[in-house]
Amino acid sequence: MNSAILTQSLSKTFGQTLAVDRLGLAVPEGAIYALVGANGAGKTTVIKLLMNIFRPTAGSAQVLGIDSRSLAGKAFNRIGYVSENQDMPEWMTVGALLDYYRAFYPTWDRALEQQLVRQFDLPLQRKLKNLSRGMKMKAAFASSLAYRPPLIVLDEPFSGLDPLVRDELIEGLIERAPETTIFLSSHDLAEIESFSSHIGYLEQGRLLFSEEMSVLSDRFREVTVTLSVPAPLPASLPPTWLQAQTVDCVVRFVHSAHNDSTAAEIAQFFPSARDISLDPMPLRSIFLAVAKAGRLRAPSQHNQPAVKGTAA
Amino acid sequence: MSQILHIFYKDARRFWGEIFLSVAITAAFAWFYPNTWIGPDHIHGAMGSHSVASYNLQIIGGFLLALVPVSWWLLIVRVVHAETLVGDRQFWLTRPYEWPKLLAAKLLFLLAFLYLPIFIAQCALLAEAGFKPFSFIPGLLFNLLLLTIVLVLPILAVATVTSNFARMTLTLLGVFVGIIALGAVVQRLMPNHFTAIAGASYTTQGAFTLAFCVCAAVVVLQYALRRVWLARALLYGIPALLILASPFAERIQSHHPRIDVNYPVAANPPVQLAFHPLSPSYQTYETWPDTGEVLIHTPLQGTGVAAGTVLVPDAVKLEVEAPNGVHWVSDWQGTAMPKFLAGSQDGDAVVSIPRDRYEQLKSMPLTMHLSVAFSEARETRVTRMPLPSEDFSVSGFGVCSPLAGFLSPFTQATGLLCRSALRDPPLTYIGVVWSDTPCDAPHPEPDQGVQGAAWVGSLDRAPADLDISSVQQVHFTLSNSIYERSNVPRHLCPGSPVTFTEYERVSRTQTSVTIHDFHLPGVKVSDGQTHVFTTTTTTTEAPKQK
């Protein structure tokens, strides 16, 4: 499958600060790819590098087959971009904004525009500066979906929105999903879990993993081992075991490389185990485990992968 | 093209207020500014409340003149910042804007709402002043080019490297303060005798060209690549270096062989120069701040200038030889020597000499070789007429009006005031005949009165001078304008003869004179100032062709 977005060792520094560190990312065409990570992880920087708003310090990125550094002008006919932080021409009314943008796009679909206006209940006569944050985002969505772009890039699109608006936007987005690739960043796992097909986790500028959502869910298990007698944790645990801790006869950890032989592998470490349970984890728990594991790493280990994954 | 027009219409809709303000100011300027021209109407208004009114007109006219570029600043900044080039949050960055079209849309906006109004205003001013605007289209366009280089393009360039109006204003203030500070540094570095030498001031043209290129490069760089720091470095760094380098450039220029190339030694010098120690100017002295330099006045007499020719001294150079073997040669220095016409003419050549060198040479009889670089100009047109009582046009020169002085009766003209289109008039000798008595009193025939004269204009003329107004007032003072006995102004009576003699450069040349046994003037320092006295010298004079 072709990649709508492909990066190779993409890096960006601001002065002494390394914001993006040798990012290797592949977003398949047709995917709904969620780039997640804590605040300050570098998600927005990655998106701005992809959109040629920032120039990479090293490495390269291809967006719809175009080098990101050449992305300009007509290339944006095929990209819809919405960001929570984007300055909009607030002096315009919603109607004037749509009228203004319409002339730029040969593929602008007037019927779709009207549908989106109705769907988002947009007040065409009101100026953007007089709209609520949610309404502004709806206007931004409408103006970025109406020309049916093959790639939609969203930077924290749902941040700070009430659940109703969020659902409306997600619904509008999902309707476009069959015909487009969606790449979005978010630090709110709950909002993307329901509709993302792929996920990447960014921490301090580094991509810790990038894979299909189903694979990720299969890979992580919350492990509870019940021992016959209390015992300390073995001195050396596999690096795929995260946040291991023991309380009396119970050992708990997160297994990040679960497969059919996981139970046997665990039994080798804990011969006195009375019971081993492997429970699926919600996305939120997976990321918390990964994030905490990353923060516990020693500085010397910083450049080593915290979790074995299928990062591109 | 559609994208250009689309962005243009959007900006026009958004900035209608700024456009209205700018056009209104330009229109007000064009309507009001002619009131500042002192014409025949003002003969009746030279005193009392009328003079106050006239002064107020000048103030208001000057204010409107200053407001025009301020309104441009507002217009340019607002339209550029509509799609600001600094920052990473602008809506247009991820829309299918093509930068050449975006830039073209902004330029179209300026063309429509800045250039067109000022062009129309300048045409209206020309028409109001008595000129035919369509005869001056190339000059008008050249003036717009100069305004672009000096005003529009720098504002545009600064707007492209700032993100909002407040930052732009602060940046301009910073640039203004920086220019003053750098100017102060330059002032200290600049030779005291600095004067642009006609025909050789290529550094000025170079500076204009470089400023244009830098600003244009910054604008294109920003629109094409948005490399803000590189653009800022170019925009602020290069002019600063340029200003700092200017004194050195002038020094290089004054040494430059190009002056000797431009002013070759003539086989038959158009003027014979001789040392003229009995000239009254030789008895004068002047004070000069303690700058480490001493001014040496050398009175000269020029003879042998052909009829219909004027020699304009552009620069002087002094070579001194002392009996003890000391030899010193000055740079070419600009000069304010009077022009040489047919007949005998006196003039001081003033040369600056370093104080330490002066101390070395002052007590010795010196041999001085004084070279003077001239522009030789010939009469191209003579216009003679009886003085009209109202505005009159002089072909190739401009439009003139009789002018009343402050002390004269209301209805008496005591001078002339002229206006030229777009630039200084050509070098022109104006001759009038004064009347010692009021024009309505019985007096001899007008052409038997006292002669008055003035030089105006210049030999070096571009198609237009930099000015927001397309009409320039030509200021000059006619000689013998005061009646010595009663210390009151003389009068220019209607019907008295007026002559405008226009000159055009035909060549540049240099000639020199050698002066033997010259003693440098005495100097004493008093109250923190250096007083330079001329001194008596026994001399032999030897006009010499170099």
Lowest mean pLDDT: which of A231-240, B288-297, B451-460, B507-516?
A: B288-297
Residue B385 pLDDT > 70, yes or no?
yes
Looking at residue A108, what DSSP letter applies? -
- According to the model, what pLDDT value does residue B64 have? 94
Contact yes or no for A128/A136 (Cβ under 8 A): yes
Distance CA B263, CA B510 (A): 6
Contact yes or no for A240/A308 (Cβ under 8 A): yes
Lowest mean pLDDT: which of A30-39, A97-106, B116-125?
A: A30-39
B519 and B501, same domain (yes or no): no
Q: Do A76 and B95 touch (CB under 8 A)?
A: yes
- According to the model, what pLDDT value does residue B216 have? 94
- According to the model, what pLDDT value does residue B189 have? 60
Q: What is the dihedral sign for C-alpha A157, A160, A165, A171?
A: positive
What is the average per-residue pLDDT within B264-270? 83
Distance CA B398, CA B394 (A): 5
Q: Do A76 and B96 touch (CB under 8 A)?
A: yes
Nearest to A54 among B88, B94, B96 (CB): B88
> CB-hemisphere CA count at 13 Å for B343?
3
Q: Do B96 and A77 touch (CB under 8 A)?
A: yes
Chain A residues in contact with B88 by the CB 8 A cut-off are 48, 53-54
Q: Do B94 and A48 touch (CB under 8 A)?
A: no
Per-chain mean pLDDT for chain B: 81
Residues in chain B: 546
Residue B527 pLDDT > 70, yes or no?
no
Chain A residues in contact with B95 by the CB 8 A cut-off are 76, 101, 104
- According to the model, what pLDDT value does residue A1 have? 65
- According to the model, what pLDDT value does residue B535 have? 47
Distance CA B198, CA B215 (A): 27
Task: Name the helix (H) or strand (E) containing B360.
Answer: helix B355-361
- According to the model, what pLDDT value does residue B174 have? 83
Q: Minimal CA–CA distance to A210: which of A58, A67, A10, A18?
A: A10
Residue A136 CB neighbour total at 10 angstroms: 18
Residue B526 pLDDT > 70, yes or no?
no
- According to the model, what pLDDT value does residue A306 have? 39
| B350 Cβ contact partners less than 8 Å away, ≥ 6 residues apart | B295, B296, B297, B298, B316, B335, B336, B337
Residue B309 pLDDT > 60, yes or no?
yes
Contact yes or no for A99/A134 (Cβ under 8 A): no
Query: Is B83 domain-assigned?
Result: no
Q: Do B6 and A103 touch (CB under 8 A)?
A: yes
* Gap from A140 CA to chain B (nearest CA, Å): 10
Q: How many domains does chain B have?
A: 3
Where among B192, B227, B255 does a domain terminate?
A: B255
b/e for B134-168, b at 16 or more Cβ within 10 A? eebeebbebbbbbbbbbbbbbbbbbbbbbbeeebb
B204 and B303, same domain (yes or no): no
Residue A310 pLDDT > 70, yes or no?
no
Contact yes or no for B520/B535 (Cβ under 8 A): yes
Residues A90-133: pLDDT tens digits? 999 999 999 999 999 999 999 999 999 999 999 999 999 999 99
* Gap from B138 CA to chain A (nearest CA, Å): 37
B308 and B272, same domain (yes or no): yes
Query: Is B96 domain-assigned?
Result: no
B292 and B331, same domain (yes or no): yes
Pairs of CB atoms within 8 A across A/B: 52
The complex's ipTM works out to 0.86
CA B542 to centroid of chain Cα atoms: 36
Question: Which value, to the nearest 10 degrees, does the dihedral of the CA atoms of residues B263, B265, B271, B275 take?
Answer: 100
B474 and B425, same domain (yes or no): yes
Residue A270 pLDDT > 50, yes or no?
yes
Q: Minimal CA–CA distance to B297: which of B284, B314, B311?
A: B284
Residue A30 has which token pair?
């047709």
Distance CA B75, CA B22 (A): 7
Q: Check residues A70 and B348 and name the one with the higher pLDDT.
A: A70
Lowest mean pLDDT: which of A38-42, B107-111, B204-208?
A: B204-208
Residue A296 pLDDT > 70, yes or no?
no
Chain A residues in contact with B3 by the CB 8 A cut-off are 103-104
Instruction: Give domain A3-216's CATH number out of 3.30.420.40, 3.40.50.300, 3.90.190.20, 1.20.59.10.
Output: 3.40.50.300
Query: Is B455 domain-assigned?
Result: yes
Chain A residues in contact with B97 by the CB 8 A cut-off are 72-73, 76, 104
B497 and B519, same domain (yes or no): no
The nearest alpha carbon in chain B to A76 belongs to B96
Highest mean pLDDT among B37-41, B178-182, B265-269, B382-386: B382-386
Residue B258 pLDDT > 70, yes or no?
no
Nearest to A89 among B2, B3, B91 (CB): B91
Residue B410 pLDDT > 70, yes or no?
no
What is the average per-residue pLDDT within B374-382? 92
- According to the model, what pLDDT value does residue A305 have? 39
Query: Is B14 domain-assigned?
Result: no
Contact yes or no for B162/B168 (Cβ under 8 A): yes
Residue B285 pLDDT > 50, yes or no?
no
Residue ranges of B 68-87 with Cβ closer than 8 A to chain A: 82, 87
B228 contacts chain A (CB < 8 A): no
Residues in chain A: 312
Where among B192, B220, B255 does a domain terminate?
A: B255
Domain boundaries, chain A: 3-216, 220-282+292-301
Residue B176 pLDDT > 70, yes or no?
yes
Contact yes or no for A58/A11 (Cβ under 8 A): yes
* Gap from B14 CA to chain A (nearest CA, Å): 8
Strand partners, B272: B303
B514 and B370, same domain (yes or no): yes
- According to the model, what pLDDT value does residue B520 have? 78
Q: Do A72 and B98 touch (CB under 8 A)?
A: yes
Lowest mean pLDDT: which of A140-154, A284-298, B153-167?
A: A284-298
- According to the model, what pLDDT value does residue B326 have? 86
The nearest alpha carbon in chain A to B3 belongs to A104
Strand partners, B450: B434
The percent of residues in chain B predicted with pLDDT above 90, rounded, is: 36
pLDDT class of A77 with cuts at 50, 70, 90: very high
Q: Do A72 and B91 touch (CB under 8 A)?
A: no
The nearest alpha carbon in chain A to B2 belongs to A103
B88 contacts chain A (CB < 8 A): yes
Distance CA A44, CA B306 (A): 81
Q: Check residues A309 and B445 and name the one with the higher pLDDT.
A: B445
Contact yes or no for B431/B421 (Cβ under 8 A): no
B343 and B360, same domain (yes or no): yes
Residue B233 pLDDT > 80, yes or no?
yes
Residue B201 pLDDT > 60, yes or no?
no
Residue B39 pLDDT > 80, yes or no?
no
Looking at residue B388, what DSSP letter applies? P
Nearest to A76 among B82, B88, B94 (CB): B94
- According to the model, what pLDDT value does residue B198 have? 42
* Gap from B235 CA to chain A (nearest CA, Å): 22
- According to the model, what pLDDT value does residue B188 have? 62
Cβ burial of B238 (10 Å; 0-12, 13-18, 19+) is: middle
Tokens 């594991």 map to which residue?
A: A293
B235 and B277, same domain (yes or no): no
B374 and B511, same domain (yes or no): yes
Residue B6 pLDDT > 90, yes or no?
yes
The CA-based angle A220-A224-A227, given to 5 degrees, is 145
Q: Check residues B183 and B257 and name the one with the higher pLDDT.
A: B183
What is the separation, in whole angstroms, between the first and last Cα of chain A? 14
Contact yes or no for B35/B57 (Cβ under 8 A): yes
The CA-based angle B472-B473-B475, given to 5 degrees, is 135
Residue B367 has which token pair?
């041999």
The percent of residues in chain B predicted with pLDDT above 70, rounded, is: 79
Contact yes or no for B275/B541 (Cβ under 8 A): yes
B224 contacts chain A (CB < 8 A): no
Q: Check residues A190 and B168 and name the one with the higher pLDDT.
A: B168
- According to the model, what pLDDT value does residue B279 have? 52
DSSP code string of A160-194: T--HHHHHHHHHHHHHHGGGSEEEEEES-HHHHHT
Q: What CATH number is associated with residue B329?
A: 2.60.40
B6 contacts chain A (CB < 8 A): yes
Helix (H, G, I), strand (E, B) or coil at B15: coil
CATH for A220-282+292-301 is: 3.30.70
Domain that holds residue B437: 379-505
B470 and B436, same domain (yes or no): yes
pLDDT class of B448 with cuts at 50, 70, 90: low
- At residue B259, φ and ψ (nearest 5 deg) are -65, -45
Nearest to A48 among B88, B97, B98 (CB): B88
